[in-house]
Structure 1
Amino acid sequence: MDDAVLSNDKQVYRPGEWAVTPGVAAGSPGEKSPPLAQLYPEKDKYLIIPQARYTDPAFAELEWKAVWSKVWTCAGLASDIADPGQWFKYDLGRESFVVVRQKDGSIKAFYNVCQHRGRQLVTENFGRNHSFVCQYHSWVFDLDGKNRRVTDREYFEQDALSGDLSLKAVRCETWAGFVFISMDENAKPLREYLDGIPGIFAGYHFENMHVVKDVVVEVPCNWKIGYENFLEPYHAHITHPEIQPAVDEVLNQYDFYRNGHGNAITRVGLPSERYADKNNINPALAFLLQEAGINPEQFQGRATDVRQALIAAKRKEDNPWGIDYSGYVDSQLMDDWNPSFFPNMTFNAHPEGTMVLRFLPHPSDPSKYLLHQWVLIPKTKPGVPVPYYMGVEPDVDISGTVRPARRYTTLADPQMGLVVGQDIANQVGMQRGVSSKGLSSGVRLSEQEQRLQQIHAEIDRLIAAI
């Protein structure tokens, strides 16, 4: 077996133990986390997942009360509300929120509900207002949620207008340009909730990236099926076989954090352990070399040497991307870092671009969810492309001059790129399968799917707490 499978002097690869860079200093972004069992001693209760967790409306209701109504979820991007009065709408299951930039530069979030008869105040995704005017009876609310006008107030009995007429606020905090909200007034601070994630990804400076793609599609399966797909690279060898010449989807570092969060690091720039030819420079590796300004025909090395050559090329001050890579560890320069933010967001993070996916539950049907994709990129040299698998079309303006409109697409043409399109195809076929009598024994999970065990354990911890 190739030396690449050796880790910490062990001959056998263990997904929960193997590290991309063994022995890194404590506190380094690449430091291997403790095993999942240290955070979740009950993890082996989730080697088999009952069908009902994906199909039962009663279980979905438990999730709503214990998870969605309690934890922090990402509502949107701070860059979409850069100026006072700008707002965006965030729909989460049965609820809707309006998130608005205040005159003092702070951000507040409110339930998207007029305090008169309950009409939603905003129906578009984005806008800018001096105040919010209900289009039903013209009640007016300031940007800070305070009621400014009750139309024909004299026709209301005093008791009908008793109490606070302001919009009902929800907790709202930001991290790295992402706006999070929580419906739980007693939720722990966002940074505490995110545990180790902010420190690991500080070098990416997501807040300085801009949107080049914004797409939403409804998928006919439970939100967890969608989320789980992006928590394990185990499926990649058959769903995405085209990546094997230049991506090692087998030897992944898996890390686990409190509150259900995790990370996986997948090495890029070398052949998969499943790929037979580890010597010759295949077309995929040749493309990566060319992109880095290295002539593949003159490259002196094996296929397994390409990754280090690419890291060295990025470390140069005059690198072809025009990016300052000094804030990244070597693995971050090349590899796919895939954090999962419980309960419903993942990144595929690279310095040259990050794909963000949110898995939003359907308001009433546990067999459907909304998949939301953002692609964010930093300022780069003109002509530098977005990482190909993120599916940014060649005619899209990626300069950041224009924020692209949100697209609502179809399963027939999801417009999320080849890789995500392949993942969606798997998900479409899964809901009927997890509902079938043929799977009555439940969904079985491998060691490579420990992040799935983690999210189910976290869900049950939250249900037990209500």
Structure 2
Amino acid sequence: MPFHYPKEVVPGEYTIAPEAPPGSHDEKSPPMRELYPNRDDYLHVSPERYFSGAHAQREWDGLWTRTWTCAGRASDIPETGNWFKYDLGRESILVVRTEADRIEAFYNVCQHRGNQLVHGDFGKSERFTCSFHGWQWKINGQTNLITDVSTFKPEVLKGRLNLPSVRCETWAGFVFVNMDDEAPPLADFLAEIPHFMQSYQMEQMHVVKDVVIELDANWKVVLEAFLESYHLQETHPQAKPFVDEVHYQLDFFRNGHGRLHTAIGYPSPRCEDRSTVAPGLAYMLAEAGVDPAAYEGRAMQARDALLAAKRVPDNPYGIDYSGFSDSQVTDDWNYSIFPNMTFNTHPEGVLVMRFLPHPTDPEKSYYHVWVISRKLKGNVRPPAYMGVEPHVDISGETRPARRYNSKLDNELGEVLDQDISNVEGVQRGLHSRAFRFNRYSEQEQRILQLHAEIDRYLSAAPPQ
């Protein structure tokens, strides 16, 4: 029989732990309307937001140059002189460990003729030398050498010659930058996020996968695919036997951040058979140390079996789960940090995604996927859906190279491959003369929040 969405279920308002007290990991946020009284203004969104050059320019001037965005991982610059490059739209930023306990960021541009100083993703330098004429800067941005300085008239070299700095702060092992000197500190911007994510201790995790793909779709089109679970039934039908995407929880935090909490190890109500343990669910049981052949429970009881297996001190992952709530141990908590970052968090590892604008074309973007992993016991891998290949060293001894892949050969695994298969079709369809506007359901409230928060920046109103 066809599935009918239960009338008694309000999308996003179901709580996995309804008695969770304030301040707990499972606490339910206020409804979106309390933070965004105008939320219904975004039930329809104009397609021009996704392809208009004028709108992209407004986003550049009012959003990207004013908000905090994640530049990279602090673990990628472990020693003094280590650096990585962060390209955001038309800007390139150089993030450097200038002292053992200090990270700084500078615009990656020579103050002579504008050449970019570094072109690779990562490196280590005693100084930065322009490949064009040899001007040099110390790693702290101070001018070190001006080639043939005597040939410049004094007035030419007046003013700022050091590398212009960019505000730079860290949280949970991530380095964030902000081009706006007047913006609030990172801690204020992140609002409730550090409280809810602190138990995962992401600063202790290491990168085990790093892939970038250029897509023919606006960055918001790609991001929106990961802000709702409404698409799971059609895009990821193989997940229905072990993911309940009907009874889930949406949370809305200040400054545009949010959370989608989905129960794992629990069949979707859309499944006609909710008793038989499907192969995908059997695999999850095996990962947690439960022999599927010996498991006598039904599919509806598998989530409890997963929880019990992980709570055992000698569990296969070698993790002490005592600092996590039951739902954190078993479920997928998808956090979003405004404007362009999501985290599928698990105690064993986190799937991190960034959605970056193209520097010149609003109908292109860069989809960046990291997988970061805790140190796990033996050869146990992070959750399989994250797509970490069997041959990859997950010990943390070696950092995998960044891969620039194509959408046809993305090496991201089945789930993410299915997700990106939709976005370019969406981008093309937005141009149709037969398409008037996006229409969002209550299952897609996080997308309403995204557009409402963007408009706060574009209207020059201070972030909430």
TM-score bracket for the superposition, by shorter chain length: over 0.9
- 1:131 matched residue in structure 2: 127
- Partner deviation per Cα, 1:101-160 (whole Å, 9 max, x = no partner): 012420000010111111100000000001111111111111110111111111111111
Q: Is the 8 A contact 1:348 1:355 kept in 2?
A: yes
**CA–CA separation in structure 2 for the residues paired with 1:180 and 1:231:** 21
- 1:211 matched residue in structure 2: 207
- 1:92 matched residue in structure 2: 88
User: Partner letter of residue 453 of structure 2?
Assistant: E
- Partner deviation per Cα, 1:206-263 (whole Å, 9 max, x = no partner): 1111111111110001000001000001001110111111111221100001111101
SS in 1 for 2:322: coil
Kindly indicate whether residue 428 of structure 2 is the aligned counterpart of residue 432 of structure 1. Answer: yes
* CA deviation after TM superposition for structure 1 residue 12, in Å: 1.2
Kindly indicate whether residue 48 of structure 2 is the aligned counterpart of residue 45 of structure 1. Answer: no
- Partner deviation per Cα, 1:248-280 (whole Å, 9 max, x = no partner): 122110000111110101110110111122222
Kindly indicate whether residue 13 of structure 2 is the aligned counterpart of residue 17 of structure 1. Answer: yes
Matches within 5 A, 1:283-298: 283-298=279-294
- 1:172 matched residue in structure 2: 168
**CA–CA separation in structure 2 for the residues paired with 1:142 and 1:374:** 30
Kindly indicate whether residue 220 of structure 2 is the aligned counterpart of residue 224 of structure 1. Answer: yes
* CA deviation after TM superposition for structure 1 residue 324, in Å: 1.4
Identity of aligned residues (%): 53
Kindly indicate whether residue 309 of structure 2 is the aligned counterpart of residue 313 of structure 1. Answer: yes
Matches within 5 A, 1:386-465: 386-440=382-436, 442-465=437-460
Q: Is the 8 A contact 1:16 1:36 kept in 2?
A: no
Q: Report the number of matched residues.
A: 457
**CA–CA separation in structure 1 for the residues paired with 2:11 and 2:184:** 31
**CA–CA separation in structure 2 for the residues paired with 1:292 and 1:457:** 40
Correspondent of 1:253 among 249, 252, 255? 249
Q: Is the 8 A contact 2:255 2:453 kept in 1?
A: yes
- Partner deviation per Cα, 1:410-444 (whole Å, 9 max, x = no partner): 1211111111111111012111101111112x000
* CA deviation after TM superposition for structure 1 residue 40, in Å: 0.3
**CA–CA separation in structure 1 for the residues paired with 2:35 and 2:99:** 42
**CA–CA separation in structure 2 for the residues paired with 1:464 and 1:428:** 29
Q: Is the 8 A contact 1:48 1:445 kept in 2?
A: yes
Correspondent of 1:264 among 255, 260, 271? 260
**CA–CA separation in structure 2 for the residues paired with 1:401 and 1:298:** 36
**CA–CA separation in structure 1 for the residues paired with 2:291 and 2:145:** 68
What are structure 1's unaligned runs of at least 5 residues? Answer: none
**CA–CA separation in structure 1 for the residues paired with 2:445 and 2:348:** 28
- 1:360 matched residue in structure 2: 356
Q: Is the 8 A contact 1:16 1:35 kept in 2?
A: no
- 2:329 matched residue in structure 1: 333
- 2:235 matched residue in structure 1: 239
* CA deviation after TM superposition for structure 1 residue 311, in Å: 0.9
Kindly indicate whether residue 370 of structure 2 is the aligned counterpart of residue 371 of structure 1. Answer: no
**CA–CA separation in structure 1 for the residues paired with 2:168 and 2:460:** 23
**CA–CA separation in structure 1 for the residues paired with 2:379 and 2:84:** 31
* CA deviation after TM superposition for structure 1 residue 28, in Å: 0.7
- 1:198 matched residue in structure 2: 194
**CA–CA separation in structure 2 for the residues paired with 1:144 and 1:209:** 27
Kindly indicate whether residue 26 of structure 2 is the aligned counterpart of residue 26 of structure 1. Answer: no
User: Partner letter of residue 341 of structure 1?
Assistant: I
Q: Is the 8 A contact 1:83 1:105 kept in 2?
A: no
Between 314-323 and 173-182, report the one with greater CA deviation. 314-323
What are structure 2's unaligned runs of at least 5 residues? Answer: none
**CA–CA separation in structure 1 for the residues paired with 2:375 and 2:283:** 22
Segments ≥4 residues shifted beyond 6 Å: none
User: Partner letter of residue 98 of structure 1?
Assistant: L
- 1:55 matched residue in structure 2: 51
Q: Is the 8 A contact 1:111 1:170 kept in 2?
A: yes
SS in 1 for 2:241: coil
SS in 2 for 1:244: helix
User: Partner letter of residue 131 of structure 1?
Assistant: R
SS in 1 for 2:459: helix
- Partner deviation per Cα, 1:281-317 (whole Å, 9 max, x = no partner): 2222222222222233433432111111211211111
SS in 1 for 2:443: helix
User: Partner letter of residue 136 of structure 1?
Assistant: F
* CA deviation after TM superposition for structure 1 residue 391, in Å: 1.3
RMSD of aligned alpha carbons: 1.3
Q: Is the 8 A contact 2:12 2:247 kept in 1?
A: no
- Partner deviation per Cα, 1:67-119 (whole Å, 9 max, x = no partner): 10000000000000010000000000000000000124200000101111111
**CA–CA separation in structure 1 for the residues paired with 2:285 and 2:54:** 53
**CA–CA separation in structure 2 for the residues paired with 1:416 and 1:207:** 23
Correspondent of 1:142 among 113, 134, 138? 138
- 2:31 matched residue in structure 1: 35
Kindly indicate whether residue 326 of structure 2 is the aligned counterpart of residue 303 of structure 1. Answer: no
Correspondent of 2:78 among 73, 78, 82? 82
User: Partner letter of residue 224 of structure 1?
Assistant: K
User: Partner letter of residue 439 of structure 2?
Assistant: R
Kindly indicate whether residue 149 of structure 2 is the aligned counterpart of residue 153 of structure 1. Answer: yes
SS in 2 for 1:201: helix
Correspondent of 2:339 among 340, 343, 349? 343
- Partner deviation per Cα, 1:372-395 (whole Å, 9 max, x = no partner): 111111111112122111111111
Distance 1:285 1:104, change over 3 A: closer
**CA–CA separation in structure 2 for the residues paired with 1:240 and 1:408:** 25
